[in-house]
Amino acid sequence: MKTYCVHRLAFILLFALFFSCKKEFDTPPVKSAEAGTKINIAQIKAKFNNTNYRFKSDSSLYCVVIADETSGNLYKDIYVRDATGALHVKLIDSGGLFIGDSIRINLKDCFLNDYNDLIQLDSVNSEKNIVKLSSGANPQPITMTIKQLVANTAATNSVQSKLIRLENVQFVKRDTAYSDFVGKNSFEHTLEDCFGNNIIVRTSGYSYFASNKTPKGNGTFIGIAGQFRGTMQLIIRDVKDINMTGALCASVTPTVTPSGYLNKDFNDGSATSGGWLNVNVTGTVINWTTATSTTNPTKFGQCNNFIASGNQPACETWLISGPLDLSGSTAPTYSFTSAFLFSGPTLTTYVSTNYNSGAPSSATWTPLSASFGTNSTFKSSGLISLSSYKTTNVRVAFKYLGNLNSGSRWQIDDIRIFEP
C-alpha cells in the first residue's frame, strides 16, 4: 500500500511538471519593436526629398491615431499626429488600430515617400513596427475655413493630414449618394461655404455609408485634410462627424428670380434647358451634352471631340446661356466648376451684352479670367465679378476648341451668377 501511494504521488508530480512545461512552451514571451531614437512628425517630414527614403535604423515616432479604417472609407491607411504635425501612414496589413490609440511606430525598414503630393510613411507593418501604448484619447480637430485650407498647395504644407473642422458649409450636390455602393467606385463631392469657396470631398464605394445621402442643410464638417496633385481635398472619417441641419447659405444657393440670377447644374439631363444654346461655328458638329462619371455621380455638361481611332475632328462649339437681367443686381458674381481630360486647347469663358442668336461672331464677347480644371477633379473657377455688366441681355458662354491632333474632354458644372 505504501509503495502504491509513493508511485501515485510520483505520477501526479510528473503529470503536473509535464503540463506546466507545455503551457510555458505554447505561450512565448511577447516581443515589442525596439524604441531607438525618438523622432517627431516634423523631423520625419523634413527628411522628405521626393525620393523613396528608407529608415535604416531603429527610431520611434510617438503619436495618436486620428483616423482609422473602421468606416471602410480608408483601407490599410491610418492618420496620426503629435505635437508637431500630422502624417498619413500606409499599412502593409489591415485592422487593429483605432481613433484615440496612442502608439509607437518603429521606423526601421519603413519608407518616406508621397502619393501624388500626399506625404506618407509607407510599408508599415502593424505587427512588426507598431506598439499600442494606450487607448481612449480624444483627438480634437482644428477649426479652419475652406479658403485657408485650399491655399495650402505645397507638397510639404503643414496642414496636410491634419484633422480639420469646417463650420457653416454645405454640399453642392445635396441628397445624393456619398459613393457608388454598387460598383464600389469612389465619388468626389464638392463642399462649399457661404462665400463661394469650395473643396473636394472624396468617398470610397467600400465605406459603410456609401449609400447614405449627403445632407440637405448647412453646418459642420470634420475630416482629414488630404492632398492630390497640388489640390487639397477632404476625407471623411465617419458620417457621424458631419452635422448639417441648418439653413442653407442663400449667397451660394441662388434662386433663379425675375432679375435673372443663374443656377445651371445639368441635373435635368439637358445641356440646353433654361434657354442655353449649342452653337457650332466650324468643323464637325460636336455638341455639348450631359454625362456622369465614377468621380462625379450627378450630371454635368461635357464637350468632347475624342475618337478612339483616327484623327480627332476639328471644331469650334459654344455653349451660350439665355439672356439674363442683371440691371437690379448689386454685385453680380459668376462661378462654375470644370474638369479636363486628355490633351487639347484650354476651355474659355466669355460675357456679352449684345448677343441675340446665330453665330457668336455677330456679337461682342469679352473673355473672363477664370481658373480651369487641370485633371479629372472638378476645380472651382473662383469668384468672377460681373459688376461691369449690371444691365439687361447679359449672357455668359463657354467656347470649346478641338483640333485634328488632340481630343480633349472638358466638363463643366454648377454654373452660377449670384450676389455674394
Q: Between 398 and 287, whose confidence is greater?
A: 398
pLDDT of residue 166: 96
- Could you tell me if 242 and 300 lie in one domain? no
The predicted model gives 306-332 an average pLDDT of 83
Choose the final residue of a domain: 246, 270, 300: 246
Q: Residue 146 sits in a domain of what CATH number?
A: 2.40.50.200
pLDDT for the residue 419: 82
Q: Domain containing 309: what range?
A: 262-418
CATH code, domain with 360 = 2.60.120.200
Which band of pLDDT confidence, cut at 50, 70 and 90, is reported for residue 296?
A: low
Q: What is the pLDDT of residue 344?
A: 78
- Taking only the tens place, the pLDDT of each residue in 160-195 is 999 999 999 999 888 889 998 888 888 889 898 887
Q: What is the pLDDT of residues 327-362, one digit of tens each?
A: 888 889 999 999 888 877 889 999 999 999 899 999
**Statement: residue 254 has pLDDT above 60:** no
Q: Could you identify the residue written with the cell 510639404?
A: 156
Q: Do residues 126 and 152 both lie within one domain?
A: no
pLDDT tens readout for residues 375-406: 887 888 988 999 999 999 999 999 998 877 77
Residue 7, in any domain of the structure: no
How many helices (H) and strands (E) the chain has is answered by 3, 28
Chain centre to alpha carbon of residue 374: 15
pLDDT recorded at residue 154: 74
Same domain, 200 and 271: no
> How far is the C-alpha of 316 from the C-alpha of 215, rounded, in Å?
39
- Taking only the tens place, the pLDDT of each residue in 115-149 is 988 999 999 999 999 999 999 999 999 999 998 89
pLDDT band at 10 (very low <50, low <70, confident <90, very high): very low
In a domain, 2, yes or no: no
- Considering the domain architecture, whether residues 159 and 126 belong to the same structural domain is answered as no
Output Rg (C-alpha) for the chain, integer angstroms. Answer: 29
> Mean per-residue pLDDT for 254-269?
65
Are residues 212 and 296 part of one domain?
no
Domain assignment of residue 10, yes or no? no
Based on the fold, state whether residues 239 and 343 are members of the same structural domain: no
197 and 316 within one domain: no
| Shared domain check, 174 and 95 | no
The pLDDT value recorded for residue 313 is: 75
Q: Which residues pair with 120 in a beta bridge?
A: 88, 113
**Same domain as 272, residue 207:** no
Can you name the residues that pair with 4 across neighbouring β-strands?
A: none
43 has a pLDDT exceeding 50: yes
pTM: 0.60
CA distance 149 to 192: 12
Residue at a domain's end among 91, 107, 134: 134
Together in a domain, 202 and 219: yes
56: domain CATH number is 2.40.50.140
What is the per-residue pLDDT across 68-95, written as a single tens digit (0 to 9) for each? 999 999 999 999 999 999 999 999 998 7
> Exposed, middle or buried by CB within 10 Å (0-12, 13-18, 19+), for 306?
middle
Do 150 and 119 share a domain, yes or no?
no
How far from chain centre, in Å, is Cα 41?
Answer: 23
Domain boundary, last residue among 83, 112, 134: 134
What is the tally of structural domains in the chain? 3
Cβ contact 368:351 at 8 Å: yes
Per-residue confidence at 32, pLDDT binned at 50, 70, 90?
A: low
